[in-house]
């Protein structure tokens, strides 16, 4: 699914009006119908509604929705923010249509004395400001938003919660804290930023029939990783395959007391479908890894406690992953430098490999093209510096991916995959239960295994984060978010593969 900014959404509306052709008021009517259908399917029928409207087209959506609810004999009160403007033409037409069937339930807000009493059983519909908002709220509208937020009511935002900007940070601004957001046609950047999660609630995307040809004419740089994208990437196996067809992966992982990271990465790599896996680990971890992952071949370092020297022909491997649990000893740093100088194909770097890069940033210029870096937020900040908000962090990740000609997988809710060409992919799978020790090691193993199987680096990253999150979703269903551990994600990898096989 494409992710569009505010200007692209506006142009898409205009394109649809000109090319379908369809009047803007009819698009608004279609949006209201879709909202009614969602309310019905979500068991909100029979509730008492209070709808707050601005005088723009978002307010027009709210008025159309109010009319349709009244026609179904629901209790509806409408509150319109009074302003000097008469409102958009579509707002005015919908106000007239509403007044024709019920004028006694329409109220105007001039000041705080006009705020209605909001009891806990009411359902509030927020249709004050939509995607066109460009500035922080102030005055009476900011006061109203804070008043609504302090009620105990469920809040359903139409298009986007009032006060939330589509494509720039609204951190510390007055913003409606919605229980649900009913948005139209596509995801918006604001919905993917952790800083906004308390405002957007659960997002539902409603198809209101905008002309799909627009997306082919102006392909956006941002996409949500969904079933359509995954089905275009995933490669089903031929019946006459053998293990050599699915690559030989090398994992460099572990140190004394941190062999669990190596075990998790190795088992995840095997579950991702790699034909062969070799693991270079400290001598002290041989029995641990051979016992827990008997399918893997193990090569011991000369050092008993950490990685110090890797004597192998890197050309025999189809992919290399390095970092989980390796520590940052001086000998390990030297070993990483030698690998970066010796290997010309993409490498997957995670955890302590990233920490070493952050200590010696000049090594970033030695990364093989299209290498995959998988930092969480703190590791990212150590590498590239702090950001004021999530939007700045996303843009910085994209900028660094281009500068370094690498792929940055910035882990978190809606994990970002930033490509060197400027394209950004946000993951749609995963849950809060995956915020647990070892989850990142599992992702490293998965991506390394996919890379070994011949997937392009960008596709290995995109498919890897999706599979990781999907397996985590199955694990959450089976074990709960609270009880979920990293091993559960590996355990549920087969269910994730079975699902994408049917896309």
Q: Which pLDDT tens digit goes with each residue over 87-142?
A: 999 999 999 999 999 889 999 999 999 999 999 999 999 999 999 888 999 999 99
DSSP 59: H
For residue 381, count CB atoms less than 10 angstroms from its CB and return exposed for 0-12, middle for 13-18, buried for 19 or more: middle
Place of tokens 């049917």: 502
Residue 10 three-state SS: helix
Q: Which residues pair with 277 in a beta bridge?
A: 249
Edge-to-edge order in the sheet of strand 2-3? 2-3, 222-225, 424-427, 416-418, 407-410, 372-373, 347-349, 319-322, 248-252, 276-281, 297-300
Shortest CA distance to 456 belongs to which of 219, 232, 275, 227? 232
> Which pLDDT does position 219 carry in this prediction?
79
Whole-prediction pTM value?
Answer: 0.95
Helix and strand tally (H, E) in the chain? 18, 18
Q: How far apart are CA 42 and CA 125, in angstroms?
A: 14
> Which pLDDT does position 363 carry in this prediction?
97
Q: Which residues pair with 51 in a beta bridge?
A: 78, 125
Shortest CA distance to 473 belongs to which of 438, 443, 428? 428
Each residue of 372-426: pLDDT tens digit? Answer: 999 999 999 999 999 999 999 999 999 999 999 999 999 999 999 999 999 999 9
Residue 75 three-state SS: coil
Q: Residues of 342-373 as b/e, b for ≥16 C-beta within 10 angstroms?
A: ebebbbbbbbbbbbbbbeeeebbeebbebbbb
> Which pLDDT does position 394 carry in this prediction?
98
Q: Which domains does the chain have, with CATH numbers?
A: 2-224 (3.40.50.10260), 244-501 (3.40.1190.20)
> Which pLDDT does position 370 carry in this prediction?
98
Residue 44 three-state SS: coil
> Which pLDDT does position 55 carry in this prediction?
96
Strands 276-281 and 347-349: unpaired
The torsion of the CA quartet 294, 459, 456, 336, rounded to 10 degrees, works out to -60
Residues of the chain with pLDDT under 50: none
> Which pLDDT does position 285 carry in this prediction?
97
Terminal alpha carbon distance of the chain: 15
Contacts of 263 (CB under 8 A, 6+ apart): 288, 289, 292, 293
């Amino acid at each position: 699914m494409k992710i569009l900014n505010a200007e692209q959404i506006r142009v898409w509306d205009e394109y649809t009006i000109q090319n379908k052709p369809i009047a803007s008021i009819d698009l608004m009517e279609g949006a209201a119908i879709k909202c009614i259908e969602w309310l019905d399917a979500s068991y909100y029928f029979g509730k008492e509604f209070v709808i707050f409207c601005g005088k723009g087209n978002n307010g027009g959506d709210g008025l159309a929705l109010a009319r349709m609810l009244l026609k179904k004999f629901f209790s509806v009160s409408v509150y319109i923010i009074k302003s000097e403007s008469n409102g958009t033409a579509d707002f005015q037409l919908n106000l007239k249509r509403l007044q024709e069937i019920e004028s006694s339930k329409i109220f105007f807000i001039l000041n705080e004395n006009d705020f209605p009493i909001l009891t806990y059983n009411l359902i509030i519909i927020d249709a004050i400001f939509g995607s066109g908002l460009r500035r922080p709220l102030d005055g009476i509208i900011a006061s109203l938003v804070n008043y609504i937020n302090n009620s105990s009511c469920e809040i359903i935002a139409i298009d986007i919660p009032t006060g939330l900007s589509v494509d720039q940070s609204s951190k510390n601004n007055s913003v409606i804290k919605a229980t649900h957001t009913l948005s139209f046609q596509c995801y918006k950047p604001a919905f993917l930023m952790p800083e906004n999660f308390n405002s957007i609630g659960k997002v539902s995307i409603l198809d209101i029939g905008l002309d799909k040809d627009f997306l082919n004419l102006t392909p956006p740089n941002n996409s949500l990783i969904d079933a359509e994208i995954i089905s275009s990437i995933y490669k089903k196996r031929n019946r006459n395959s053998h293990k050599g067809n699915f690559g030989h992966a090398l994992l460099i992982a572990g140190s004394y007391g941190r062999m669990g990271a190596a075990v998790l990465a190795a088992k995840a790599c095997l579950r991702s479908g790699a034909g062969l896996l070799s693991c270079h680990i400290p001598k002290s971890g041989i029995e641990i890894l051979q016992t827990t992952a008997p399918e893997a071949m193990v090569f011991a370092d000369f050092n008993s406690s950490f990685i110090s020297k890797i004597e192998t022909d890197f050309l025999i491997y189809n992919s290399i992953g390095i970092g989980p649990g390796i520590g940052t000893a001086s000998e390990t740093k030297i070993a990483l430098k030698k690998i970066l100088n010796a290997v010309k194909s993409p490498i997957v770097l995670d955890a302590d490999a990233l920490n070493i890069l952050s200590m010696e940033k000049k090594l970033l210029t030695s990364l093989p093209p299209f290498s995959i870096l998988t930092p969480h937020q703190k590791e990212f900040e150590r590498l590239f510096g702090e950001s004021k908000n999530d939007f700045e962090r996303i843009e910085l990740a994209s900028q660094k991916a281009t500068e370094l000609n690498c792929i940055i997988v910035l882990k978190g809710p809606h994990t970002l995959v930033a490509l060197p060409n400027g394209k950004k992919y946000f993951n749609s799978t995963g849950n809060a239960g995956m915020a647990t020790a070892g989850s990142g090691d599992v992702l490293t193993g998965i991506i390394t295994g996919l890379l070994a199987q011949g997937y392009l680096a960008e596709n290995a990253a995109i498919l890897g984060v999706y599979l990781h999150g999907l397996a985590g979703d199955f694990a959450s269903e089976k074990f709960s978010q609270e009880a979920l551990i990293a091993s559960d994600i590996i355990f549920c990898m087969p269910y994730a593969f079975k699902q994408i096989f049917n896309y």
